[in-house]
Amino acid sequence: MEHAAYNREDMNPADEIREAVARLREQVAYVDGIASEAKRQIDEDNREGYFIGISGCTLSREISTASLSTFPIDGESMFTITPVKNVPDLGSLARALAPKCRAMFSHLSHLSHRVDHELYVAKRIAGTPQGALNLAYQLISLLRLKTNCLINGITFSNTPWGQVAAHAGDVFMQPLEDPRPPLWTSQSNITHGDLHWGAERLIRDFDLREHPSYRLAYESAADAPFLKDARTAVARIWSGVESLFDVQNELSFRLSMYAAVFISDDVDERIAIQAKFKRLYALRSKAVHGAKMEDAKLRETLSSSWSLLRDLLLACIRTGSSVPTTAELDRALLGHQLARDEGVTFSASGPPGESPAGQVADVAE
Protein backbone atom coordinates (compact mmCIF):
# COMPACT_ATOMS: atom_id res chain seq x y z
CA MET A 1 0.00 0.00 0.00
CA GLU A 2 1.10 3.57 -0.65
CA HIS A 3 0.18 6.45 1.59
CA ALA A 4 0.07 10.16 0.88
CA ALA A 5 2.97 12.17 2.31
CA TYR A 6 2.10 14.35 5.29
CA ASN A 7 4.05 17.29 6.71
CA ARG A 8 3.85 16.39 10.39
CA GLU A 9 5.26 19.75 11.54
CA ASP A 10 2.10 21.47 10.26
CA MET A 11 -0.32 18.90 11.72
CA ASN A 12 -2.33 19.45 14.86
CA PRO A 13 -3.52 16.53 17.07
CA ALA A 14 -6.87 16.35 15.28
CA ASP A 15 -5.15 16.04 11.88
CA GLU A 16 -2.89 13.31 13.23
CA ILE A 17 -5.94 11.37 14.43
CA ARG A 18 -7.63 11.81 11.06
CA GLU A 19 -4.46 10.58 9.32
CA ALA A 20 -4.32 7.53 11.58
CA VAL A 21 -7.98 6.74 10.90
CA ALA A 22 -7.44 7.11 7.14
CA ARG A 23 -4.51 4.72 7.25
CA LEU A 24 -6.48 2.22 9.31
CA ARG A 25 -9.29 2.36 6.77
CA GLU A 26 -6.81 1.76 3.96
CA GLN A 27 -5.38 -1.21 5.83
CA VAL A 28 -8.83 -2.67 6.48
CA ALA A 29 -9.78 -2.21 2.81
CA TYR A 30 -6.51 -3.84 1.75
CA VAL A 31 -7.03 -6.87 4.03
CA ASP A 32 -10.70 -7.15 3.06
CA GLY A 33 -9.72 -7.06 -0.60
CA ILE A 34 -7.28 -9.95 -0.12
CA ALA A 35 -9.92 -11.97 1.75
CA SER A 36 -12.57 -11.29 -0.92
CA GLU A 37 -10.21 -12.33 -3.69
CA ALA A 38 -9.30 -15.48 -1.73
CA LYS A 39 -12.98 -16.41 -1.44
CA ARG A 40 -13.46 -15.80 -5.16
CA GLN A 41 -10.55 -18.09 -5.95
CA ILE A 42 -11.99 -20.81 -3.70
CA ASP A 43 -15.30 -20.59 -5.60
CA GLU A 44 -13.46 -21.06 -8.90
CA ASP A 45 -10.82 -23.58 -7.82
CA ASN A 46 -11.64 -26.56 -5.61
CA ARG A 47 -8.75 -28.83 -6.57
CA GLU A 48 -7.61 -31.37 -3.99
CA GLY A 49 -3.90 -31.80 -3.78
CA TYR A 50 -0.66 -30.19 -2.71
CA PHE A 51 0.95 -26.89 -3.63
CA ILE A 52 4.69 -26.27 -3.79
CA GLY A 53 5.71 -22.62 -3.85
CA ILE A 54 8.43 -21.93 -6.43
CA SER A 55 10.90 -19.08 -6.70
CA GLY A 56 12.90 -18.10 -9.76
CA CYS A 57 10.30 -19.37 -12.22
CA THR A 58 9.54 -17.67 -15.52
CA LEU A 59 6.85 -18.99 -17.85
CA SER A 60 7.08 -18.45 -21.59
CA ARG A 61 5.86 -15.04 -22.70
CA GLU A 62 2.71 -16.23 -24.44
CA ILE A 63 1.43 -17.83 -21.21
CA SER A 64 3.13 -15.68 -18.59
CA THR A 65 -0.16 -14.70 -16.93
CA ALA A 66 -1.87 -18.07 -17.26
CA SER A 67 -1.06 -21.57 -16.01
CA LEU A 68 0.66 -24.62 -17.44
CA SER A 69 -1.10 -27.96 -17.06
CA THR A 70 -0.39 -31.50 -18.15
CA PHE A 71 -1.12 -35.18 -17.55
CA PRO A 72 -4.97 -35.05 -17.68
CA ILE A 73 -6.98 -37.84 -16.07
CA ASP A 74 -10.77 -37.66 -16.43
CA GLY A 75 -10.48 -33.98 -17.28
CA GLU A 76 -8.31 -33.08 -14.27
CA SER A 77 -4.68 -32.06 -14.69
CA MET A 78 -2.31 -33.87 -12.38
CA PHE A 79 0.40 -31.18 -12.56
CA THR A 80 -0.08 -27.44 -12.95
CA ILE A 81 2.22 -24.42 -12.64
CA THR A 82 0.36 -21.20 -11.85
CA PRO A 83 1.52 -17.65 -11.10
CA VAL A 84 0.94 -16.73 -7.45
CA LYS A 85 -1.37 -13.80 -6.86
CA ASN A 86 -3.17 -12.43 -3.79
CA VAL A 87 -0.49 -13.27 -1.21
CA PRO A 88 -1.97 -12.92 2.32
CA ASP A 89 -0.86 -10.24 4.74
CA LEU A 90 0.89 -11.29 7.94
CA GLY A 91 -2.28 -11.27 10.06
CA SER A 92 -4.30 -13.28 7.54
CA LEU A 93 -1.50 -15.82 7.25
CA ALA A 94 -1.20 -16.25 11.03
CA ARG A 95 -4.96 -16.67 11.35
CA ALA A 96 -5.18 -19.20 8.51
CA LEU A 97 -2.41 -21.53 9.68
CA ALA A 98 -3.21 -24.70 11.57
CA PRO A 99 -2.04 -24.58 15.21
CA LYS A 100 1.00 -26.79 14.62
CA CYS A 101 2.19 -24.48 11.82
CA ARG A 102 1.79 -21.14 13.57
CA ALA A 103 5.28 -21.13 15.05
CA MET A 104 6.57 -20.82 11.46
CA PHE A 105 4.33 -17.96 10.37
CA SER A 106 7.08 -15.32 10.41
CA HIS A 107 9.35 -17.46 8.22
CA LEU A 108 6.44 -18.30 5.92
CA SER A 109 5.52 -14.64 5.65
CA HIS A 110 9.07 -13.88 4.55
CA LEU A 111 8.95 -16.67 1.95
CA SER A 112 5.54 -15.54 0.70
CA HIS A 113 7.20 -12.52 -0.92
CA ARG A 114 9.68 -14.77 -2.74
CA VAL A 115 7.17 -17.26 -4.15
CA ASP A 116 6.29 -16.34 -7.72
CA HIS A 117 4.60 -19.58 -8.92
CA GLU A 118 3.06 -22.73 -7.52
CA LEU A 119 3.40 -26.31 -8.66
CA TYR A 120 0.17 -28.24 -8.03
CA VAL A 121 0.37 -32.02 -7.55
CA ALA A 122 -3.05 -33.69 -7.55
CA LYS A 123 -3.94 -35.89 -4.58
CA ARG A 124 -5.04 -38.51 -7.05
CA ILE A 125 -1.44 -39.05 -8.14
CA ALA A 126 0.19 -38.40 -4.75
CA GLY A 127 -1.76 -39.95 -1.92
CA THR A 128 0.43 -38.56 0.86
CA PRO A 129 2.29 -35.30 1.50
CA GLN A 130 5.61 -37.14 1.26
CA GLY A 131 4.59 -38.63 -2.07
CA ALA A 132 3.72 -35.15 -3.35
CA LEU A 133 7.07 -33.79 -2.14
CA ASN A 134 8.92 -36.60 -3.89
CA LEU A 135 7.10 -35.95 -7.16
CA ALA A 136 7.56 -32.19 -6.88
CA TYR A 137 11.28 -32.48 -6.21
CA GLN A 138 11.77 -34.75 -9.21
CA LEU A 139 9.63 -32.65 -11.54
CA ILE A 140 11.30 -29.39 -10.50
CA SER A 141 14.73 -30.97 -11.04
CA LEU A 142 13.69 -32.31 -14.45
CA LEU A 143 12.39 -28.88 -15.46
CA ARG A 144 15.68 -27.33 -14.35
CA LEU A 145 17.57 -29.80 -16.54
CA LYS A 146 15.27 -29.40 -19.53
CA THR A 147 15.04 -25.61 -19.51
CA ASN A 148 18.05 -24.28 -17.59
CA CYS A 149 15.49 -22.24 -15.60
CA LEU A 150 17.07 -22.24 -12.11
CA ILE A 151 13.96 -22.70 -9.98
CA ASN A 152 13.61 -23.69 -6.31
CA GLY A 153 10.75 -25.21 -4.34
CA ILE A 154 10.54 -23.19 -1.12
CA THR A 155 7.12 -23.85 0.50
CA PHE A 156 4.69 -26.77 0.78
CA SER A 157 0.97 -26.47 1.51
CA ASN A 158 -2.44 -28.08 1.18
CA THR A 159 -3.87 -24.72 0.07
CA PRO A 160 -2.92 -22.34 -2.77
CA TRP A 161 -1.29 -19.11 -1.57
CA GLY A 162 -4.05 -17.06 -3.19
CA GLN A 163 -6.75 -18.76 -1.08
CA VAL A 164 -5.01 -18.67 2.30
CA ALA A 165 -6.64 -15.42 3.48
CA ALA A 166 -10.12 -17.01 3.36
CA HIS A 167 -9.14 -19.79 5.80
CA ALA A 168 -9.04 -19.91 9.58
CA GLY A 169 -6.89 -22.40 11.45
CA ASP A 170 -6.88 -25.19 8.84
CA VAL A 171 -4.02 -24.42 6.45
CA PHE A 172 -1.09 -26.80 6.68
CA MET A 173 2.02 -25.05 5.37
CA GLN A 174 5.71 -25.49 5.94
CA PRO A 175 8.90 -23.90 4.62
CA LEU A 176 11.13 -26.15 2.53
CA GLU A 177 14.19 -23.94 2.10
CA ASP A 178 15.12 -20.32 1.68
CA PRO A 179 15.49 -19.15 -1.92
CA ARG A 180 19.02 -19.74 -3.09
CA PRO A 181 20.53 -17.16 -5.46
CA PRO A 182 22.16 -18.90 -8.43
CA LEU A 183 25.82 -18.37 -9.31
CA TRP A 184 24.83 -17.31 -12.82
CA THR A 185 21.80 -15.65 -14.37
CA SER A 186 19.47 -17.69 -16.52
CA GLN A 187 17.22 -16.08 -19.12
CA SER A 188 15.33 -19.34 -19.69
CA ASN A 189 11.62 -19.91 -19.24
CA ILE A 190 9.25 -22.87 -18.98
CA THR A 191 6.75 -23.82 -21.66
CA HIS A 192 3.82 -26.21 -21.73
CA GLY A 193 6.00 -28.60 -23.70
CA ASP A 194 8.63 -28.57 -20.94
CA LEU A 195 6.11 -29.47 -18.23
CA HIS A 196 4.68 -32.15 -20.52
CA TRP A 197 8.22 -33.50 -21.12
CA GLY A 198 8.98 -33.68 -17.40
CA ALA A 199 5.72 -35.40 -16.48
CA GLU A 200 6.26 -38.10 -19.10
CA ARG A 201 9.74 -38.89 -17.76
CA LEU A 202 9.08 -39.07 -14.04
CA ILE A 203 9.07 -42.88 -13.91
CA ARG A 204 12.33 -43.07 -15.90
CA ASP A 205 13.88 -40.54 -13.53
CA PHE A 206 12.81 -42.50 -10.44
CA ASP A 207 14.20 -45.70 -12.00
CA LEU A 208 17.54 -44.07 -12.76
CA ARG A 209 17.82 -42.66 -9.25
CA GLU A 210 18.07 -46.23 -7.97
CA HIS A 211 21.61 -46.23 -9.40
CA PRO A 212 24.19 -44.43 -7.19
CA SER A 213 26.17 -43.06 -10.15
CA TYR A 214 23.13 -41.32 -11.64
CA ARG A 215 21.93 -40.15 -8.25
CA LEU A 216 25.30 -38.51 -7.48
CA ALA A 217 25.38 -36.80 -10.88
CA TYR A 218 21.75 -35.70 -10.48
CA GLU A 219 22.31 -34.21 -7.03
CA SER A 220 25.48 -32.49 -8.27
CA ALA A 221 23.51 -30.79 -11.03
CA ALA A 222 20.78 -29.81 -8.56
CA ASP A 223 23.14 -28.31 -5.96
CA ALA A 224 25.96 -26.75 -7.96
CA PRO A 225 24.18 -23.67 -9.38
CA PHE A 226 23.26 -22.55 -5.84
CA LEU A 227 26.54 -23.02 -3.98
CA LYS A 228 28.24 -19.88 -2.68
CA ASP A 229 31.64 -20.41 -4.29
CA ALA A 230 32.22 -20.91 -8.03
CA ARG A 231 35.26 -23.18 -7.64
CA THR A 232 33.42 -25.40 -5.18
CA ALA A 233 30.54 -25.58 -7.65
CA VAL A 234 32.90 -26.62 -10.47
CA ALA A 235 34.29 -29.41 -8.28
CA ARG A 236 30.74 -30.53 -7.42
CA ILE A 237 29.73 -30.59 -11.09
CA TRP A 238 32.73 -32.63 -12.18
CA SER A 239 32.25 -35.14 -9.38
CA GLY A 240 28.86 -35.72 -11.01
CA VAL A 241 30.33 -35.98 -14.51
CA GLU A 242 32.96 -38.52 -13.45
CA SER A 243 30.47 -40.56 -11.42
CA LEU A 244 28.65 -41.56 -14.63
CA PHE A 245 31.68 -43.36 -16.06
CA ASP A 246 33.74 -46.10 -14.43
CA VAL A 247 37.09 -44.74 -15.61
CA GLN A 248 40.27 -44.94 -13.51
CA ASN A 249 43.02 -43.89 -15.95
CA GLU A 250 43.52 -41.70 -19.03
CA LEU A 251 40.69 -39.63 -17.59
CA SER A 252 40.58 -36.69 -19.99
CA PHE A 253 40.80 -38.83 -23.14
CA ARG A 254 38.48 -41.68 -22.14
CA LEU A 255 35.89 -39.50 -20.40
CA SER A 256 35.72 -37.16 -23.40
CA MET A 257 35.24 -40.10 -25.79
CA TYR A 258 32.54 -41.71 -23.61
CA ALA A 259 30.71 -38.42 -23.14
CA ALA A 260 30.71 -37.77 -26.90
CA VAL A 261 29.19 -41.12 -27.88
CA PHE A 262 26.75 -40.99 -24.97
CA ILE A 263 25.37 -37.52 -25.67
CA SER A 264 25.04 -37.75 -29.46
CA ASP A 265 24.73 -40.27 -32.28
CA ASP A 266 25.95 -37.77 -34.88
CA VAL A 267 29.66 -38.03 -35.77
CA ASP A 268 30.23 -34.30 -36.24
CA GLU A 269 28.49 -33.52 -32.96
CA ARG A 270 30.60 -36.14 -31.21
CA ILE A 271 33.79 -34.50 -32.46
CA ALA A 272 32.61 -31.11 -31.15
CA ILE A 273 31.54 -32.58 -27.79
CA GLN A 274 34.88 -34.33 -27.29
CA ALA A 275 36.80 -31.13 -28.02
CA LYS A 276 34.60 -29.14 -25.66
CA PHE A 277 34.95 -31.78 -22.95
CA LYS A 278 38.76 -31.81 -23.10
CA ARG A 279 38.91 -28.01 -23.01
CA LEU A 280 36.56 -27.89 -20.00
CA TYR A 281 38.45 -30.67 -18.24
CA ALA A 282 41.64 -28.60 -18.44
CA LEU A 283 39.79 -25.55 -17.09
CA ARG A 284 38.22 -27.71 -14.38
CA SER A 285 41.68 -28.75 -13.21
CA LYS A 286 42.75 -25.11 -12.91
CA ALA A 287 39.58 -24.17 -11.04
CA VAL A 288 39.57 -26.97 -8.46
CA HIS A 289 43.33 -26.82 -7.80
CA GLY A 290 43.28 -23.11 -7.02
CA ALA A 291 45.12 -21.85 -10.10
CA LYS A 292 44.70 -18.17 -10.92
CA MET A 293 41.80 -17.58 -13.32
CA GLU A 294 40.10 -14.46 -14.58
CA ASP A 295 36.55 -14.09 -13.28
CA ALA A 296 35.09 -14.30 -16.78
CA LYS A 297 36.96 -17.53 -17.49
CA LEU A 298 35.85 -19.03 -14.16
CA ARG A 299 32.22 -18.10 -14.88
CA GLU A 300 32.48 -19.69 -18.33
CA THR A 301 34.00 -22.85 -16.81
CA LEU A 302 31.16 -23.02 -14.28
CA SER A 303 28.22 -22.52 -16.62
CA SER A 304 29.66 -24.62 -19.47
CA SER A 305 30.54 -27.47 -17.10
CA TRP A 306 26.99 -27.45 -15.73
CA SER A 307 25.61 -27.53 -19.28
CA LEU A 308 27.82 -30.54 -20.02
CA LEU A 309 26.56 -32.39 -16.93
CA ARG A 310 23.02 -31.42 -17.91
CA ASP A 311 23.53 -32.91 -21.40
CA LEU A 312 24.85 -36.13 -19.85
CA LEU A 313 21.87 -36.47 -17.52
CA LEU A 314 19.45 -35.84 -20.38
CA ALA A 315 21.29 -38.54 -22.32
CA CYS A 316 20.77 -40.90 -19.38
CA ILE A 317 17.04 -40.18 -19.41
CA ARG A 318 16.59 -40.86 -23.12
CA THR A 319 18.88 -43.91 -23.25
CA GLY A 320 17.54 -46.33 -20.64
CA SER A 321 16.59 -47.12 -17.06
CA SER A 322 20.24 -47.68 -16.11
CA VAL A 323 23.49 -45.85 -16.87
CA PRO A 324 25.41 -47.48 -19.77
CA THR A 325 28.43 -49.53 -18.72
CA THR A 326 31.93 -48.89 -20.04
CA ALA A 327 31.56 -52.05 -22.13
CA GLU A 328 28.43 -50.64 -23.78
CA LEU A 329 30.18 -47.32 -24.40
CA ASP A 330 33.21 -49.12 -25.86
CA ARG A 331 30.87 -50.88 -28.29
CA ALA A 332 29.38 -47.49 -29.21
CA LEU A 333 32.89 -46.23 -29.96
CA LEU A 334 33.28 -49.12 -32.39
CA GLY A 335 30.08 -48.26 -34.23
CA HIS A 336 27.31 -49.95 -32.25
CA GLN A 337 24.48 -47.48 -31.70
CA LEU A 338 23.13 -46.99 -28.20
CA ALA A 339 19.42 -47.74 -27.86
CA ARG A 340 17.38 -44.56 -27.35
CA ASP A 341 13.76 -44.64 -26.23
CA GLU A 342 13.61 -40.94 -25.21
CA GLY A 343 12.64 -41.90 -21.64
CA VAL A 344 8.88 -41.85 -22.21
CA THR A 345 7.34 -44.67 -20.18
CA PHE A 346 3.75 -43.49 -20.69
CA SER A 347 1.97 -40.74 -22.58
CA ALA A 348 0.85 -37.59 -20.80
CA SER A 349 -0.58 -36.03 -23.94
CA GLY A 350 -3.94 -37.73 -23.87
CA PRO A 351 -6.14 -39.47 -21.32
CA PRO A 352 -3.67 -42.02 -19.93
CA GLY A 353 -6.15 -43.87 -17.73
CA GLU A 354 -5.54 -45.18 -14.27
CA SER A 355 -2.51 -47.36 -14.93
CA PRO A 356 0.11 -44.65 -15.70
CA ALA A 357 -1.13 -42.52 -12.81
CA GLY A 358 -0.89 -45.55 -10.58
CA GLN A 359 2.68 -46.14 -11.76
CA VAL A 360 3.70 -42.58 -10.92
CA ALA A 361 1.92 -42.75 -7.56
CA ASP A 362 3.67 -46.02 -6.74
CA VAL A 363 7.18 -44.70 -7.39
CA ALA A 364 6.42 -41.44 -5.58
CA GLU A 365 5.72 -43.05 -2.22
- Percentage of the chain modeled with pLDDT above 90: 68
Measure the CA–CA gap between 170 and 159, rounded to whole angstroms: 9
**In whole angstroms, how far apart are CA 258 and each of 66, 238, 254, 261, 310?**
42, 15, 6, 5, 15
Torsion over CA: 45, 46, 49, 52 (sign)? positive
> Is pLDDT at 73 greater than 90 in this prediction?
no
Q: How many CB atoms lie within 10 A of CB 257?
A: 22
- Percentage of the chain modeled with pLDDT above 70: 90
Domain-wise residue ranges, the chain: 46-192, 207-333
Q: Closest Cα to residue 333, out of 275, 255, 278, 277?
A: 255
> Is pLDDT at 364 greater than 80 in this prediction?
no
Question: Chain-centre distance of CA 242, in angstroms?
Answer: 24
- Mode of pairing for the β-strands spanning 173-175 and 76-83: unpaired
Mean pLDDT of the chain: 88
Exposure letters 163-198 (e unless 16+ CB within 10 A, then b) = bbbbbeeebebeeeeebbebbeebebbbbbebbbbb
- CB proximity list for 211: less than 8 A, separation 6 or greater: 322, 323
Q: What is the pLDDT of residue 246?
A: 87
Q: What is the pLDDT of residue 32?
A: 85
Q: What is the pLDDT of residue 94?
A: 93
> Is pLDDT at 361 greater than 70 in this prediction?
no
Give the pLDDT confidence of 343-357 residue by residue, as tens digits. 886 655 544 444 455
Q: What is the pLDDT of residue 305?
A: 97
Q: What is the pLDDT of residue 111?
A: 95
- Span 57-81, average pLDDT: 80
- Span 215-236, average pLDDT: 96
Q: What is the pLDDT of residue 351?
A: 45
Measure the CA–CA gap between 144 and 313, rounded to whole angstroms: 11
Q: Beginning with the edge strand found earlier in the chain, give each strand of the sheet holding 152-157 in spatial order.
A: 68-73, 76-83, 117-122, 49-55, 152-157, 173-175
Three-state DSSP state, 76: strand
> Is pLDDT at 230 greater than 60 in this prediction?
yes
Give the pLDDT confidence of 113-167 residue by residue, as tens digits. 999 999 999 998 888 999 999 999 999 999 999 999 999 999 999 999 999 999 9
Max CA separation in the chain (angstroms): 91
**What's the one-letter identity of residue 276?**
K
- Span 279-291, average pLDDT: 95
Q: What is the pLDDT of residue 129?
A: 94
pTM above 0.85, yes or no: yes
